Amino acid sequence: MDVRTHMSMIFHLDKCIGCHTCSVACKNLWTDRKGAEYMWWNNVETRPGTGYPTQWENQEHFRGGWEKKKGKLDLKLHSRLEGIFKLFYNPSLPDLRDYYEPFTFDYQNLFNSPKKNVQPIAEPISMITGDPIDIETGPNWDDDLGGSNIYAKNDLNLEGLPQEVREQMNELERLVFNYLPRICNHCLNPACVAACPSGAIYKRDEDGVVLVNENDCRAWRMCVAACPYKKVYYNWNTGKSEKCILCFPRMETGQAPACAHSCVGRIRYMGVLLYDADQIPKAAEVSDDELIAAHREMILDPFDPKVIAAAKENGIGDDWIESAQNSPAYKFVKEWEIALPLHPEFRTMVMMYYIPPLSPVVSVTEKSLFRLDLMQEDYDFELFDRLDAARLPIKYLANLFSAGDEGIIRTVLRKLLAVRIYMRRKTVHGKVDSVSRKTLAEAGLTEEQAIDMYKMTTLPTMEERFVFPNYHREMSIEAMLDPLTHKGEVGLGYIQQPKRGE
Amino acid sequence: MDWNQFFFVVFPYISLALFVAVTIYRLVYRPFTQSSLSSQLLERKRLYWGSIPFHHGITWILLFHLLALLFPKAILVMNATPLRLYLLELSGFALGLWALVGVVVLIWRRLTTPYIKAVTSTMDIIVLLLTLVSVITGVLTASLYRFGSVWFTGVFTPYLWSVLLFQPRPELVEPLPWLIQLHLINNFIILAVFPFSRLVHILALPLDYLIRPWQLVIGMRDRKNS
């Protein structure tokens, strides 16, 4: 057992209102620079939809992630030798137009325009060439466009859904969509690291953050193509790859990453997960239907004395173990088993998890629409037993979060519904009846767990949502350096300006 | 000092000194500036027709030049049979033409595509023009002064070694036609420009990728179990 630690984020999709505050916080902090305008290290997608960059899940086109070749796990992008030959031109690299052309507006024209009979306008101009452009797309162009013919209908996760269900999802009265915030998944088996010919990308041992060493990056841009989530970006100005750094300078000082900290719906949780690195190769190779089980198996119980002993042998301090015991991530992923990885079939072993959305709370019956949040208890139970009637099809969620396995999604949704039913009895009726207890039992939860889940979902404090260990930066390599080395710098500023090379 | 002395003795040493000293300085102290500066993200169709022919052509040609410098006897032995000589000459000529097509497309792309203009520096254009001169003089030499792979080993190999060993023998290249001399001088200019331009990306050719482990983990913990 090779115990290691990882900082994991949980996205509670039921609570996401799609406001993009996370994206804006990230943009202001990290990517508000020349060459990085088009990058959204954090973005929010409307689902069903085509996402950003457009159809990023289409791995036949972009060739991201891993696949089994002759029984061995290999990069879908290239073999090592192919990688060298594709340095000059990489056919799988997304084009700028797959993201969008960054634009601004010519505001000066409002002031400098000569006197005319018409109002001056601020024309849209490209942030790359400075020429006027027609804005055709943007990072969230499909925002809230559930049911649209160009966005929702082209979502690859609709594969395997019966035609009538697909059509139903596009009917005006029955439109359905949910939000999917995405950051870098800081995978355990990252394809970007494996694809980088220069070896410039690496994973930090302590917290698992995957980082690009920009001094080593040589712009071969294989990482951009190899990441199945398209979360490594190429800075066209500096000629270096960039990606989400999980706000490690904030985490090291005990603050949540900007996206999580600014979240209006408080959908994000963060905490330490202990995992067994010895199990990664096996867990990445199992067949599709065993992926989630193998992934959960790999996450270790921080209360198990054997795990604690092995962790200490690996140099993991008591405070990290204690932090792992208080981690909300552990509760959601392992204890309650309601948080799932996004697209586990890409086999990069992601470490950010999603609680699939139960909402929209309106579902369809034969007669008419009916609402789950009304006080008619029968409906609750009807949906509990007939999850297939849910407006967001189970199969769709399964394609997103469980490699197509509907059983796993059903189990998760039944747990979430059971807690909702139980708490409604408790708070509205003032007492818990046998029926709601039975529902809980059927979903595989105890009353204690239900109350914990309810509290962690609806009432957590900031300290309960974000549990950070002490990073002990005083122990790090910087402590050995001359403190004046970095004098005059601000934060993690560069010793040399990140200027484009000649 | 006559011109021959300058171009074939003094200038080679200036360019070699710049090449070695500035390149080392840049790689060690300015690693951020070393990048292939790919522009595929901004424009890909013309790049396809420019980058692939140019890079594949020029890589093989440079490799042949290097082989002739390091193993001149092997080249001569290989050329002993006319058929093998013709094949070598023909493939060299074809690769040269291929690289020429590529560099012309790349120049056209850089000068006419608005997206590429946005990331073009003066040095980029200088490098492309120098490369164009090198490829054109090279291809012309190959077609006008046959058979290069034979006389290269008798003229250029000893001359280049004499420069590298600090016993320059300019008399070896002085009698050559001006076209071949231009090819030589132009390449010394490229060598001088090398560390100041994007050409340093040649040294980043990541051959260690063939053998390194897939995953890289860096940390400060002392792990016992792995």
> Of residues A277 and A477, which shows the higher confidence score?
A277
Q: Which residues contact B98 (CB under 8 A, 6 or more apart)?
A: B53, B54, B56, B57
pLDDT band at B149, cuts 50/70/90?
Answer: confident
The distance of B128 to chain A (nearest Cα, Å) reads 13
**Is residue B171's pLDDT more than 80?**
yes
Judged by CB atoms closer than 8 Å, whether chains meet at B225 and A128 is answered as no
Residue B210 belongs to some domain of the structure: no
- CA count, 13 A, side-chain hemisphere, A29: 24
> Of residues A502 and A438, which shows the higher confidence score?
A438
The distance of B71 to chain A (nearest Cα, Å) reads 26
The secondary element (H helix, E strand) that includes residue A371 is: strand A369-371
Q: Is the dihedral of CA B21, B22, B26, B27 positive or negative?
A: negative
Q: How far apart are CA B200 and CA B185, in angstroms?
A: 20
Smallest Cα–Cα separation from A410: which of A435, A390, A437, A425? Answer: A390
Specify the CATH number for the domain of residue B9.
1.20.950.20
Q: Say if residues B44 and B117 touch (Cβ distance below 8 Å).
A: no
In chain B, the residue whose alpha carbon lies closest to the alpha carbon of A313 is B224
Q: Quick one: average pLDDT of B69-77? A: 89
Q: Say if residues A56 and A99 touch (Cβ distance below 8 Å).
A: no
pLDDT band at A268, cuts 50/70/90?
Answer: very high
Judged by CB atoms closer than 8 Å, whether chains meet at B196 and A502 is answered as yes
Distances from the Cα of A84 to the Cαs of A90, A197, A291, A347, B4, in angstroms?
A: 10, 7, 31, 23, 41
Is residue A77 classed as helix, strand or coil in its secondary structure? Answer: coil
> Exposed (0-12), middle (13-18) or buried (19+): which is A367, by Cβ within 10 Å?
exposed
In chain A, the residue whose alpha carbon lies closest to the alpha carbon of B35 is A218
Rounded to the nearest 5 degrees, what angle is found at the Cα of B182, between the Cα atoms of B180 and B183?
Answer: 65
Q: Quick one: average pLDDT of A56-67? A: 95
Judged by CB atoms closer than 8 Å, whether chains meet at B37 and A198 is answered as no
pLDDT band at A483, cuts 50/70/90?
Answer: low
Q: Quick one: average pLDDT of A264-283? A: 96
Of A217, A277, A315, the CB nearest to B35: A217
Q: According to the model, what pLDDT value does residue A375 have?
A: 43
The DSSP secondary-structure symbol of B42 reads: T
> Of residues A430 and A329, which shows the higher confidence score?
A329
Q: Quick one: average pLDDT of A12-35? A: 95
Q: According to the model, what pLDDT value does residue A364 have?
A: 47
Domains and CATH numbers, chain A: 13-189+222-237 (no CATH), 267-465 (1.10.3650.10)
Q: Say if residues A6 and A314 touch (Cβ distance below 8 Å).
A: no
Q: Say if residues A412 and A338 touch (Cβ distance below 8 Å).
A: yes
pLDDT band at A373, cuts 50/70/90?
Answer: very low
A48 prior amide bond cis, ω within 30: yes
Q: How far apart are CA A34 and CA A211, in angstroms?
A: 20
- CA count, 13 A, side-chain hemisphere, B122: 2
Judged by CB atoms closer than 8 Å, whether chains meet at A502 and B197 is answered as yes
Distances from the Cα of B2 to the Cαs of B57, B74, B170, in angstroms?
A: 36, 36, 12
The distance of A473 to chain B (nearest Cα, Å) reads 10
> Of residues A81 and A367, which shows the higher confidence score?
A81
Burial A370-389 (b: 16+ CB within 10 A, else e): bebeeeebebbeebbeebee
Q: How far apart are CA B32 and CA A60, in angstroms?
A: 33
Is residue A9 classed as helix, strand or coil in its secondary structure? Answer: strand
Q: According to the model, what pLDDT value does residue B74 have?
A: 87
Residue B142 belongs to some domain of the structure: yes
- Per-residue tokens: B219: 């940390």
Its domain, for residue B71, covers 3-204
- Per-residue tokens: A491: 């934060």
Of B40, B221, B225, the CB nearest to A206: B221
Q: Which of A86-95, A369-378, B74-83 has the highest mean pLDDT?
A: A86-95
Q: How far apart are CA A98 and CA A139, in angstroms?
A: 10
Of A89, A194, A316, the CB nearest to B221: A316
**Which residues of chain A does B221 touch, with a Cβ-Cβ cutoff of 8 Å?**
205-206, 314-316
The distance of B145 to chain A (nearest Cα, Å) reads 32
Q: Which residue has the tokens 């139903």?
A: A168
Q: For the segment A172-226, what is each residue's pLDDT rounded down to a tens digit?
A: 777 888 999 999 999 999 999 999 999 999 999 999 999 999 999 999 999 999 9
**Which residues of chain B does A199 touch, with a Cβ-Cβ cutoff of 8 Å?**
206, 208-209, 212, 216
Measured from the Cβ of residue A69, the count of other Cβ atoms closer than 10 Å reads 11
Q: Give chain B's domain count.
A: 1
Judged by CB atoms closer than 8 Å, whether chains meet at A215 and B210 is answered as no
Q: How far apart are CA A315 and CA A411, in angstroms?
A: 37
Average pLDDT, chain A: 90
Look at A17-21, A66-70, A261-265, A360-364 and tell me which has the smallest mean pLDDT.
A360-364
Residue B182 belongs to some domain of the structure: yes
Q: For the segment B90-145, what is each residue's pLDDT rounded down to a tens digit?
A: 999 999 999 999 999 999 999 999 999 999 999 999 999 999 999 999 999 999 98
Query: Residue B112: left if φ>0, alpha if ψ -120 to 50, beta else—which one?
Result: alpha
Residue B116 belongs to some domain of the structure: yes
Rounded to the nearest 5 degrees, what angle is found at the Cα of A353, between the Cα atoms of A348 and A355?
Answer: 140
Q: Quick one: average pLDDT of A97-108? A: 95
Q: How far apart are CA B86 and CA A295, in angstroms?
A: 60
Judged by CB atoms closer than 8 Å, whether chains meet at B35 and A240 is answered as yes
Q: How far apart are CA A17 and CA A8, in angstroms?
A: 21
The DSSP secondary-structure symbol of B32 reads: G
Q: According to the model, what pLDDT value does residue B225 have?
A: 60
> For residue B155, which amino acid is it?
V
> Exposed (0-12), middle (13-18) or buried (19+): which is B225, by Cβ within 10 Å?
middle
In chain B, the residue whose alpha carbon lies closest to the alpha carbon of A217 is B35
Q: How far apart are CA A390 and CA A212, in angstroms?
A: 42
Judged by CB atoms closer than 8 Å, whether chains meet at A203 and B217 is answered as yes
Of B34, B41, B216, the CB nearest to A93: B41
Q: According to the model, what pLDDT value does residue B76 have?
A: 86
Q: According to the model, what pLDDT value does residue A496 have?
A: 72
Q: Quick one: average pLDDT of A43-56? A: 94
Judged by CB atoms closer than 8 Å, whether chains meet at A236 and B215 is answered as no
The maximal CA–CA distance of chain A, rounded, in angstroms, is 81
Q: Quick one: average pLDDT of A1-14? A: 96
Distances from the Cα of B56 to the Cαs of A367, B65, B140, in angstroms?
A: 67, 15, 19
Distances from the Cα of A367 to the Cαs of A362, A370, A468, in angstroms?
A: 13, 9, 50
Q: According to the model, what pLDDT value does residue B179 have?
A: 96
Residue B223 belongs to some domain of the structure: no
Residue B217 belongs to some domain of the structure: no
**Is residue A368's pLDDT more than 60?**
no
Q: For the segment A287-330, what is each residue's pLDDT rounded down to a tens digit?
A: 999 999 999 999 999 999 999 999 999 999 999 999 999 999 99
Residue B171 belongs to some domain of the structure: yes
In chain A, the residue whose alpha carbon lies closest to the alpha carbon of B118 is A129
Q: How far apart are CA A468 and CA A466, in angstroms?
A: 6
**Which residues of chain A does B118 touch, with a Cβ-Cβ cutoff of 8 Å?**
128-130
**Is residue A31's pLDDT more than 90?**
yes
Query: What sections of A262-317 are H helices per DSSP?
Result: 280-285, 291-298, 305-313
- As a whole number of Å, the end-to-end CA separation of chain B is 66
Q: Say if residues A128 and A101 touch (Cβ distance below 8 Å).
A: yes
pLDDT band at A430, cuts 50/70/90?
Answer: confident
**Which residues of chain A does B201 touch, with a Cβ-Cβ cutoff of 8 Å?**
218-219
Q: How far apart are CA B12 and CA B20, in angstroms?
A: 12
Judged by CB atoms closer than 8 Å, whether chains meet at A84 and B206 is answered as yes
**Proportion of chain A above pLDDT 90, given as a percent:** 74
Whether ipTM exceeds 0.90 = yes
**Is residue B161's pLDDT more than 50?**
yes
The distance of A186 to chain B (nearest Cα, Å) reads 12
Q: Say if residues B98 and B57 touch (Cβ distance below 8 Å).
A: yes
Q: Which residues contact A106 (CB under 8 A, 6 or more apart)?
A: A122, A123, A124, A125, A132
Judged by CB atoms closer than 8 Å, whether chains meet at A199 and B51 is answered as no
Average pLDDT, chain B: 93
> Exposed (0-12), middle (13-18) or buried (19+): which is A137, by Cβ within 10 Å?
middle
Residue B214 belongs to some domain of the structure: no
Judged by CB atoms closer than 8 Å, whether chains meet at B38 and A237 is answered as no
